[in-house]
Structure 1
């Protein structure tokens, strides 16, 4: 059966996924007050030399139609939990973007969480520490948080009576958050921190992965220069670049991966996704990729209206269904 764009958009609308709902405009909602889970109850590892102060900035204060908050200097990363009215048993961990300079809260975090929660998923939006803030782990700092976050999501799914399946934990990342998610998908079993509790005995491997306009390579000329410098420093060695380039880390046991990018992305070249898809396919990892002619960078949900890329949430839902994830 051939599914047309109209059908996809109608399906997305039915699931509340074709764009931000009016209730989101310029105000707090009950989801914004969702439960929080601290990643590191006793403090994040390797913070002895960290002096940054965590702060949230609203770049579009009222009367802007939608909030646009960012978090700088993350010191106490957490998960914000968005619970659906009718859970389907699957969980989703979201890593928003921000170029490794900050972490976006609304556009690629809360808005997408609400939309996918409306489709039945229990969604966790993570904040993560930034590698340029002086943490001892350096480039591995966001990976520490991502591994810990996935394990905590799996712990929550394994709790008696949760109604969630610990074998159906999905991952979604945007832009630099796509690099965080990609690192987790490909380096889930690397020992990047000392275990702190029983949750760290759980697997950090996501069961399925969605990367949206991801920063993938750290090698010029295709690397996103800002993310590369903040992650690796001003003059990284070729070995360090390769270590943190997703296309060099593809492995046979990586989770099935969905890639989404716009060809006119002027910030993160579409070749980032193309190279990663080729590397995953060479390892026989089940992979689906969608390249749209227009959409730019950072569209999330709010900047898709009237463009072909508007159907991306429906494409993801369709892929999840075909893969048996939902």
Structure 2
């Protein structure tokens, strides 16, 4: 893969422990650049007041710019004290929606590569997008193993309960996650009805089950040798029990109610092995649940929608959109 901002992400995710990673991002050492994000659409707070399990001192929001090109953003976010949905509306609506779940090893959010840039190609196809700024479990929250899932469930319920407001069909809402965000996508697809927080309002009476889940170069297992250790430790804490690792492994949670799943990964992914995707695909087949898996020989990790046409994995957005059409989420 060519040297891109995702290459530096791969090196950082692969070689820095959770505490060191957070310190590097918080200090902005990667490159100089903007230190705040100006959103281009409405922002919806997830929780009325302080989110559940808040620490005494809330984390402080930090944005680190990875791009050296002033015309190109590649921002990483930490310090999510007030999780939110950032709305990206299309010029025309096909009635569908996607909640985007950026990755970052559960230690940061890769906001542009796996959020804004994904919303761009989806809105061009008429899809209303909601980029989820979810809490990072290692930033002092209680019950850290379910903190991202709390936010994902709450996000789905808010979007579905306000479907009329956004001109979307409440039965055509997908999630699309990348790397650790892929683990979160798989988690809400398999654990949508698990009680991980105390209901706070009427939105929490609505189903959190997505109608389709996209998992792009995902972390899946937290127990197998092919797991991504950084994501596992950021989510569960270091030296988590085997029982907790098994419980957090998406492939062990597939049921008869799991929605259709789309998976893609590359054989040359040196950070999150393709075996993660294969484990999820096998689990879906074992339960006779609809699933589609595309494994490419080239693409690496963290490629988002940035790959040139001569790299095979560049085709995944069209394949995902076609899969969503076949399952009635996106307009035919």
Change (3 A) 1:73 1:32: closer
- Of 113, 116, 121, the residue aligned with 1:110 is 116
Q: Secondary structure at the match of 1:42?
A: coil
- Of 265, 269, 282, the residue aligned with 1:265 is 269
Scaled by the length of structure 2, the TM-score of the pair is 0.86
User: Does the alignment pair 1:314 with 2:318?
Assistant: yes
Matches within 5 A, 1:92-103: 92-103=98-109
User: Does the alignment pair 1:35 with 2:39?
Assistant: no
* 1:120-147 C-alpha deviation (Å, 9 max, x unpaired): 0000000111111111121100000000
User: Which ranges in structure 1 are unaligned for 5 or more consecutive residues?
Assistant: 1-25
The answer for the alignment partner of 2:286 in structure 1 is 282
Change (3 A) 1:45 1:165: same
C-alpha displacement of 1:52: 2.4
- Of 88, 91, 97, the residue aligned with 1:85 is 91
Scaled by the length of structure 1, the TM-score of the pair is 0.87
* 1:210-248 C-alpha deviation (Å, 9 max, x unpaired): 100010000141110111111112211111110000111
User: Runs (4+) of structure 1 moved beyond 6 Å?
Assistant: none
The answer for the alignment partner of 2:139 in structure 1 is 133
User: Does the alignment pair 1:147 with 2:153?
Assistant: yes
C-alpha displacement of 1:318: 1.2
C-alpha displacement of 1:50: 4.5
Q: Distance in 2 between matches of 1:156 and 1:292?
A: 38
C-alpha displacement of 1:55: 1.3
- Of 78, 82, 92, the residue aligned with 1:76 is 82
Counting matched residue pairs gives: 296
Q: Distance in 1 between matches of 2:302 and 2:75?
A: 14
C-alpha displacement of 1:306: 2.4
C-alpha displacement of 1:49: 3.7
Which has the higher mean CA deviation after the structures are superposed, 32-41 or 72-81? 32-41
User: Does the alignment pair 1:59 with 2:66?
Assistant: yes
- Of 216, 220, 227, the residue aligned with 1:216 is 220
User: Does the alignment pair 1:46 with 2:53?
Assistant: yes
C-alpha displacement of 1:155: 1.6
Question: Is the CA contact 2:306–2:314 (under 8 Å) kept in the aligned structure 1?
Answer: no
Over aligned residues, Cα RMSD in angstroms?
1.7
- Of 113, 120, 126, the residue aligned with 1:120 is 126
Change (3 A) 1:248 1:304: farther
C-alpha displacement of 1:62: 4.0
* 1:245-272 C-alpha deviation (Å, 9 max, x unpaired): 0111111110000001011100000000
The answer for the alignment partner of 2:238 in structure 1 is 234
C-alpha displacement of 1:320: 1.3
Q: Distance in 1 between matches of 2:292 and 2:213?
A: 10
The answer for the alignment partner of 1:165 in structure 2 is 169
Question: Is the CA contact 1:260–1:291 (under 8 Å) kept in the aligned structure 2?
Answer: yes
Question: Is the CA contact 1:212–1:261 (under 8 Å) kept in the aligned structure 2?
Answer: yes
Q: Secondary structure at the match of 1:132?
A: coil
Q: Distance in 1 between matches of 2:209 and 2:255?
A: 12
Which has the higher mean CA deviation after the structures are superposed, 314-323 or 111-120? 314-323
C-alpha displacement of 1:51: 4.2
